[in-house]
């Protein structure tokens, strides 16, 4: 595959190369960070997931030891490594809340770059695409990718939009409000999205927020209609079946819905 890479993704590829790694799961991330001449520690932090402090050419990456999931710690650590590799000369301190790690588009260019770096570093595009090949898209594919690359399902979904093998649309909602969306280049339906409006009433995301419903296992793929999320081309376009897989992060009350055509 010939992918085009952003500057941050290029940097992640270069760092992996310089570490002699084809696959980032071959070495503990902590060891990689030490190898890049930064310090790494895990201590309890309040109100933030990770930070990096750089003084006199020394950088310390600190990750909140209270983070419950290893996959989340891993993403936070790779995000801080991104700040280290790209931004440590620009600003002495980067402090990251869970919101910074999720709100790619609102947190500013440095945060977006650090997230892009982390996503490429932990899930190299070529390997990621190979893992998807010849698999029909369904929630199990996301589970497989998350396990394979030791990342959260949310991180795997965000990468899938860009490097997966099936056109999908994703919507991120918090507290029953739509915050941002992303889609594959070859997903051709239009979502009449309005910032801070509730998700459409027919959507699974709406059900999660208003009825507290969460679907697991075989039920995680739910039938919906195209018109639930997307604009119909004209009045006589017949409605068609779509699927929605909605993940709910209860601690932070956000959902990420991945939507695709049947
Ligand atoms: Zn950051």
Kindly state the average pLDDT of the residues 96-107: 74
State the pLDDT confidence band at 97, using cuts at 50, 70 and 90.
confident
Task: Tokens for 231, please give them.
Answer: 């604009």
Report pLDDT digits (tens) over 166-214. Answer: 999 999 999 999 999 999 999 999 999 999 999 999 999 999 999 998 8
pLDDT score, position 99: 76
pLDDT score, position 252: 83
Using the CB atoms, write b or e for 37-67: b if 16+ within 10 Å: ebebebeebeebbbbbebeeeebebbbbeeb
CA of 95 to the centre of ligand 1 (A): 6
- How is domain 168-262 classified at the CATH fold level? Beta-Lactamase (3.30.450)
pLDDT score, position 257: 96
- Is the predicted pLDDT of residue 253 greater than 80, yes or no? yes
Query: H-type helices in 25-108, by residue range?
Result: 29-35, 70-87, 98-102
List where CATH 1.10.10 sits in the chain. Answer: 7-125
Identify which of 25, 7, 125, 127 has the alpha carbon closest to the alpha carbon of residue 78: 25
Task: Domain 7-125: state its class.
Answer: mainly alpha
User: CB of 51 within 8 A of CB of 96?
Assistant: yes
Task: Tokens for 154, please give them.
Answer: 């949310």
CA of 182 to the centre of ligand 1 (A): 20
pLDDT score, position 125: 97
Task: Tokens for 132, please give them.
Answer: 């998807």
State the pLDDT confidence band at 106, using cuts at 50, 70 and 90.
low
CA of 36 to the centre of ligand 1 (A): 18
Kindly state the average pLDDT of the residues 96-106: 75
| 152 contact partners, CB below 8 Å, separation of at least 6 | 69, 71, 72, 75, 146
Helix (H, G, I), strand (E, B) or coil at 156: helix
Geometric angle at alpha carbon 243, from 139 and 71, rounded to 5°: 30
State the pLDDT confidence band at 218, using cuts at 50, 70 and 90.
confident
Report pLDDT digits (tens) over 9-60. Answer: 999 999 999 999 999 999 999 999 999 999 999 999 999 999 999 999 899 9
Distance CA 12, CA 114 (A): 10
Q: What is the mean pLDDT of the chain?
A: 93
CA of 1 to the centre of ligand 1 (A): 30
Kindly state the average pLDDT of the residues 80-109: 86
| 170 contact partners, CB below 8 Å, separation of at least 6 | 157, 158, 161, 181, 182, 183, 256, 257, 258, 259
State the pLDDT confidence band at 2, using cuts at 50, 70 and 90.
confident
pLDDT score, position 168: 97
- Is the predicted pLDDT of residue 5 greater than 80, yes or no? yes
Identify which of 73, 89, 82 has the alpha carbon closest to the alpha carbon of residue 41: 73
CA of 100 to the centre of ligand 1 (A): 7
Helix or strand holding residue 126 (H, E) = helix 125-132
CA of 133 to the centre of ligand 1 (A): 32
CA of 230 to the centre of ligand 1 (A): 33
Task: Tokens for 242, please give them.
Answer: 């779509």
Stated length of the chain: 262
List where CATH 3.30.450 sits in the chain. Answer: 168-262
CA of 98 to the centre of ligand 1 (A): 10
CA of 115 to the centre of ligand 1 (A): 8
Residue reference for tokens 């801070």 = 196
pLDDT score, position 105: 64
User: CB of 223 within 8 A of CB of 260?
Assistant: no
Distance CA 3, CA 141 (A): 21
């Amino acid at each position: 595959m010939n992918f085009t890479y952003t500057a941050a993704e290029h940097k992640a590829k270069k760092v992996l190369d310089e570490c002699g790694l084809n696959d980032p799961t071959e070495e503990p991330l902590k060891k990689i960070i030490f190898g890049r001449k930064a310090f790494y520690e895990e201590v309890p932090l309040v109100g933030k997931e990770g930070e990096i402090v750089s003084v006199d050419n020394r950088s310390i990456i600190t990750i909140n030891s209270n983070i419950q999931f290893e996959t989340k710690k891993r993403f936070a650590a790779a995000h801080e490594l991104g700040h280290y590799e790209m931004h440590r000369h620009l600003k002495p301190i980067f402090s990251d809340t869970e919101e910074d790690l999720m709100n790619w588009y609102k947190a500013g260019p440095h945060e977006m770059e650090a997230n892009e770096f982390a996503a490429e570093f932990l899930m190299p595009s070529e390997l990621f695409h190979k893992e998807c090949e010849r698999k029909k898209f369904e929630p199990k594919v996301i589970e497989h990718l998350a396990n394979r690359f030791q990342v959260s399902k949310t991180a795997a979904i965000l990468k899938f939009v860009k490097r997966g093998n099936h056109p999908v649309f994703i919507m991120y909602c918090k507290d029953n409000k739509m915050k941002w969306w992303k889609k594959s280049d070859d997903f051709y339906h239009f979502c009449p999205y309005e910032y801070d409006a509730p998700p459409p009433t027919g959507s699974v995301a709406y059900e999660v927020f208003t009825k507290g419903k969460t679907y697991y296992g075989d039920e995680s793929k739910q039938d919906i209609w195209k018109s639930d999320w997307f604009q119909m081309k004209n009045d006589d376009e017949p409605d068609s079946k779509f699927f929605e897989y909605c993940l709910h992060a209860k601690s932070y009350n956000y959902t990420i819905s991945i939507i695709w055509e049947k």
